[in-house]
Structure 1
Amino acid sequence: MRRNAEGFPIYFLATVIKQSNNLANMTLMALAELSGDVGLQRCVMGLYRDYGDCLQLSPM
């Protein structure tokens, strides 16, 4: 009940969004691997570098 009255902490919301972005990125990575397109795979791997601040997991 308290969350409904006070809302969610910003840190909590940011963490949930970053986790969601991680799942979407991992799905894209798996699809790129299944496609066999090396160019697409490299592009997807570059997303960690370019948008790392939107992801919770750090790049390898």
Structure 2
Amino acid sequence: MDHTTDVPDKILHVRSVGCDVNIIVGTHDSSGVPFTTVEVLPHEPDEDGVNWLHHGTSSVLVMPVDY
């Protein structure tokens, strides 16, 4: 993955109950295949002192099917 030489086009940061969600558009792997990264980051702890955890994968790559 190449995150350092090309800056991603869009980064969307969504704050929700128990977690933050980052959607990063405009990234690509070393072969040039474009993808979008979706990260779910649990609050550890939140403003009320509650710890949250993710169940399953906290990061997902979305890429074209034909690659």
- Normalised by the shorter chain, which TM-score bucket? under 0.3
Q: Which has the larger radius of gyration?
A: 1
Q: Which has the higher helix share?
A: 1
- Relative contact order: is structure 1 or structure 2 higher (C-alpha 8 Å, sep ≥ 6)? 1
